[in-house]
Amino acid sequence: MINHLITQKNWQTQLSEAIISVDELLSILKLESLRAQVYLPTHFELRVPRAFVSKMTIGDSDDPLLKQVLPDQQEQIAVTGYVSDPLAENEHNPTKGLLHKYQSRVLLTITGACAIHCRYCFRQHFDYSANMPTASAQADIVNYITANPEINEVILSGGDPLNVTNRRLFAWFDILEAIPQLTTIRLHTRLPVVIPARLEDSLLDRLAQSRCHVVMVIHCNHANEIDTLTAEYLQRARVAGITLLNQAVLLKGINDSVAAQVALSQRLFAAGVLPYYLHVLDKVSGAAHFDSDEQRATELYWQLLAELPGYLIPKLVRELPNRPFKVPIDIYKAI
């Protein structure tokens, strides 16, 4: 159960009070015995909001939320095929802060910061310092979009776009809404799951007023991430007219079971969110121990088809470098 003393604080305070000490995290969860299998990374250190930690089960070393954030010694094992830039994003970076892989949409990295450091993150090695769009770069972004009239959607990402202040976020909305060809602004964010209070009224009011269609794609991997309070905040966003979708990553030992996936889809739907994508793991260095192979993914998918209605089954995909679309996994290989 969430500690209400935590959740009553505003989101900025919760962000600033995130746990960055492995010893503190293990102490809170009464799992000091795990200290020997944990390491202290000098890059992409531990970061996890207390509201998210309060959804974990005290004393459970296999807690599916804990395993997503606790640095493990296995991250230090080099595995062939797992690289720092698994999606070759550096090859699709025509101007600072902008990635253009897909024909009709571009992605803006408006911040390098996240509220939580997920250990399987495919951008954990991304050079954000070279890609933060300064005020002068904003004009370059607008010019690039305008010069490519096929672009009708902008994805705000990072990092996490809801990690920035409302003032900065709303300034981006003002800039993008002034480009006539744009019809949709999409936010890819984990904040509504790890700090639900981020979905404050002032944010939802501004998004509801946008002339563009606003889509919020949250990142939730396990049903335990959506408790009653989180669901209430997500429902507020839905009532405000925001389209809510979820993308998850298939993670070995965390959510690669029928029971976990069924519970996730049902909990999402109850909170007003539709399952969108289930990603096979991007092969980023340090994350090989999370990888559930494609054969297992396809077998799981067929089982989900028998358990769930079609609208609750996410698309099973893999993102590959230099492909102009998400690549559907061939589920017929498992027949």
What is residue 14's predicted lDDT score, i.e. its pLDDT? 97
pLDDT tens track for 270-315: 999 999 999 999 899 899 999 998 999 999 999 999 999 999 999 9
The secondary structure of 74-93 as a DSSP string is GGGS--TT-BS-TT-GGGG-
How far is the C-alpha of 246 from the C-alpha of 316, rounded, in Å? Answer: 13
How far is the C-alpha of 158 from the C-alpha of 128, rounded, in Å? Answer: 8
What is residue 59's predicted lDDT score, i.e. its pLDDT? 98
Measuring CA to CA, which residue among 330, 333, 219 is closest to residue 277? Answer: 219
Of 6-10, 141-145, 270-274, give the lowest mean pLDDT range.
6-10
What is residue 134's predicted lDDT score, i.e. its pLDDT? 77
Q: Considering Cα of 23, then 51, then 243, then 141, what sign does the dihedral take?
A: negative
| Confidence class for position 96, pLDDT limits 50, 70, 90 | confident
Domains of the chain with CATH codes:
4-76 (no CATH), 89-334 (3.20.20.70)
How far is the C-alpha of 62 from the C-alpha of 302, rounded, in Å? Answer: 26
Mean pLDDT to the nearest integer, 33-47: 91
How far is the C-alpha of 64 from the C-alpha of 224, rounded, in Å? Answer: 8
How far is the C-alpha of 294 from the C-alpha of 134, rounded, in Å? Answer: 40
Strands 243-249 and 213-219: parallel
What is residue 94's predicted lDDT score, i.e. its pLDDT? 87
Between 59 and 96, the higher pLDDT residue: 59
Mean pLDDT to the nearest integer, 33-44: 90
For 84, the token pair is 């720092």
Other Cβ atoms less than 10 A from the Cβ of 322: the count is 9
pLDDT above 60: residue 1: no
pLDDT tens track for 186-200: 999 999 999 999 999
What is residue 69's predicted lDDT score, i.e. its pLDDT? 98
SS3 181: coil
pLDDT above 60: residue 99: yes
What b-and-e string marks burial along 227-259, b requiring 16 or more CB atoms within 10 Å of the CB?
A: bebbbebbbbbeebebbbbbbbbbbbebbbebe
What is residue 323's predicted lDDT score, i.e. its pLDDT? 73
Mean pLDDT to the nearest integer, 127-145: 83
- 305 φψ region: left (φ > 0), alpha (ψ -120 to 50), beta (else): alpha
**Residue with token string 């207390």:** 50
Of 116-125, 152-161, 209-218, give the lowest mean pLDDT range.
116-125
Mean pLDDT to the nearest integer, 163-185: 97
Measuring CA to CA, which residue among 211, 194, 268, 191 is closest to residue 235? Answer: 268
Residue 334 in contact with residue 300, Cβ under 8 Å? no
Mean pLDDT to the nearest integer, 112-141: 85
pLDDT above 50: residue 231: yes
Mean pLDDT to the nearest integer, 41-52: 94
Of 73-87, 97-111, 244-258, 287-301, give the lowest mean pLDDT range.
73-87
How far is the C-alpha of 272 from the C-alpha of 293, rounded, in Å? Answer: 30
What is residue 160's predicted lDDT score, i.e. its pLDDT? 97
SS in 3 state form for 264-328? HHHHHHHCCCEEEEEECCCCECCCHHHCCCHHHHHHHHHHHHHHCCHHHCCEEEECCCCCCCCEE
SS3 101: strand
Nearby residues of 15 by Cβ (< 8 Å), 6 or more positions away: 49, 115, 163, 195
pLDDT above 90: residue 73: yes
Mean pLDDT to the nearest integer, 98-114: 93
